[in-house]
Structure 1
Amino acid sequence: MTSTVPALAIRPAEGNALQAVLLDMDGTLVDTEGFWWDVEAEVFAGLGHTLDDSWRHVVVGGPMSRSAGFLIEATGADITLAELTVLLNEGFEKRIGEALPLMPGARRLLAELHEHRVPTALVSASHRRIIDRVLTTLGAHHFALTVAGDEVPRTKPHPDPYLTAATGLGAEPGRCAVVEDTATGVAAAEAAGCHVVAVPSVAPITPAERRTVVTSLEEVNLTFLRGLMTAG
């Protein structure tokens, strides 16, 4: 699956109707935010450096170019961004090949959206090679569209990934519900003009206008998402 699909005609909003649901991947649908940190720590240990645990909040949820670049600068490791990107992707692929746990409520939510034919997109800062591996577990049939971090000019926290997904599904951003787990992803969704459900995975996220915070996807269903369009 790729994000390079013809844009559908945007459907006029019927009242406050939900038009599409856009879902983050790591930490939202699959319990992999810890995997990324473990791989980063392992790679840098091999380079002779120990990562400070406080950096975890800096690198979570963003594009690999940002997180990898930060870690190179913070450690002074003798490695290029391109070289590190290859090592991180390879390490992560190996890790998810051994185990890929879903977040509580993820499978049930995806099945419900699919059953009711709600246009749904997977929107991730991870690269296409990673998304395609994860889709074998999530089920590619659950998504009409997927957008990878290496397929947009600017990834999260910029709005581009969510604007791309909304356009590809023929939806107005203001009639889309986004489910995210990090402040970086929330910033991207809000900049795109979407309603946001935040399910914090690593760092706390506070409620705000057009932003609802829950503790688990177990609290999220289609009725809940439709209600976001009229809340507030």
Structure 2
Amino acid sequence: MTALTPAAVLWDMDGTVVDTEPYWIQAETDLVESFGHTWTYEDAMSLVGAGLWESAQILKDHGVDMEPDDIVALLTDRVQSRLARDGVPFRPGASALLKELHARGIRTALVTMSVRRMAEQVVENIPFPAFEILVTGDEVTHPKPHPEPYLKAARELGVDIRDCIAIEDSRNGLASAVASGARSLAVPHAVSIPEAATHTIWPTLEGRGVDDLFALPLPETDATA
């Protein structure tokens, strides 16, 4: 296969760059239980990769007597407090691959459904300019699995989404990347991702380099939005 240099590499954040899913799960569990209800592991897994406001509505349906905006703010505060206290837990291989992309001059964007203030906190803990732009959940109309977040990132970079590579860990995130028309790479973490012709699956980024990324197959269809 001929390796094709992408115009940009677009990264999901939670579960892909950083292992923050346990922080979110704990925050969700504590919140639901504070209202006298139960939040199971399966409940938490149903929110992986989802938009924060959609997740907030599900939490509300589980008995959290708060408005969605307040739920999002509280959960974000609690996860940010964990990040400040315990540090930013990078996923295996993510920091090294980002550093190699930076060294080789490949453009990058962070495409996350977390809000901007949290994304900025994570980025500030990377000791080199890892991302040219951030696209965050509070800045899109349609969250993942809709393709808007990835299309927005490509538009802000001024590149064709079909010339980009997207890296994701969740089913919702991967659906967004595939629908956008990007070359899509899944690195499953909290949830499994089935094999399909629309994407490539790596079990980890550890030991993978930029040349491996460049060799990913092109998408089979054009962007749908």
| Shared fold (TM-score, shorter chain, > 0.5) | yes
* Alpha-carbon distance in structure 1 between the residues aligned to 2:131 and 2:113: 16
1:138 positional shift: 2.5
1:61-100, aligned counterparts within 5 Å? 61-73=49-61, 75-99=62-86, 100=88
* Alpha-carbon distance in structure 2 between the residues aligned to 1:112 and 1:29: 14
Cα 1:17–1:77 change in 2 (3 A) is: closer
**92, 113, 117: which one aligns with 1:129:** 117
Amino acid in the other structure paired with 1:81: P
1:77 positional shift: 2.7
* Alpha-carbon distance in structure 2 between the residues aligned to 1:210 and 1:90: 36
3-state secondary structure, aligned to 2:153: helix
* Alpha-carbon distance in structure 2 between the residues aligned to 1:200 and 1:67: 20
Superposed CA RMSD: 1.8
Equivalence for 2:223: none
* Alpha-carbon distance in structure 1 between the residues aligned to 2:161 and 2:127: 25
* Alpha-carbon distance in structure 2 between the residues aligned to 1:189 and 1:230: 13
Amino acid in the other structure paired with 2:50: G
* Alpha-carbon distance in structure 2 between the residues aligned to 1:162 and 1:108: 23
Q: Does 1:116 align with 2:110?
A: no
Structure ranking higher on relative contact order (CA contacts 8 Å, 6+ apart): 1
Cα 1:88–1:78 change in 2 (3 A) is: same
Percentage identity across paired residues of the two chains: 36
1:15-26, aligned counterparts within 5 Å? 16-26=4-14
Runs of 4 or more consecutive aligned structure 1 residues displaced over 4 Å after TM superposition: 229-232
Show CA shifts across 1:68-113 (max 9, x none).
Answer: 111211x223222122122111111111111221111111101100
Contact 1:175 1:229 in 2 (8 A): no
Cα 1:52–1:231 change in 2 (3 A) is: closer
Number of aligned residues: 217
1:57 positional shift: 2.0
1:207 positional shift: 2.2
Show CA shifts across 1:29-54 (max 9, x none).
Answer: 10101111111111222222220221
* Alpha-carbon distance in structure 1 between the residues aligned to 2:102 and 2:176: 25
* Alpha-carbon distance in structure 1 between the residues aligned to 2:4 and 2:173: 24
3-state secondary structure, aligned to 2:215: helix
* Alpha-carbon distance in structure 2 between the residues aligned to 1:49 and 1:231: 44
**172, 180, 205: which one aligns with 2:168:** 180
1:210 positional shift: 3.6
Contact 1:62 1:184 in 2 (8 A): yes
1:152 positional shift: 1.3
3-state secondary structure, aligned to 1:138: coil
* Alpha-carbon distance in structure 2 between the residues aligned to 1:225 and 1:77: 42
Contact 2:51 2:137 in 1 (8 A): yes
TM-score, normalising length: structure 2: 0.91
* Alpha-carbon distance in structure 1 between the residues aligned to 2:116 and 2:128: 13
Please list every run of 5 or more consecutive structure 1 residues that lacks an aligned counterpart in the other structure: 1-14
1:231 positional shift: 8.9
3-state secondary structure, aligned to 1:178: strand
* Alpha-carbon distance in structure 1 between the residues aligned to 2:218 and 2:174: 19
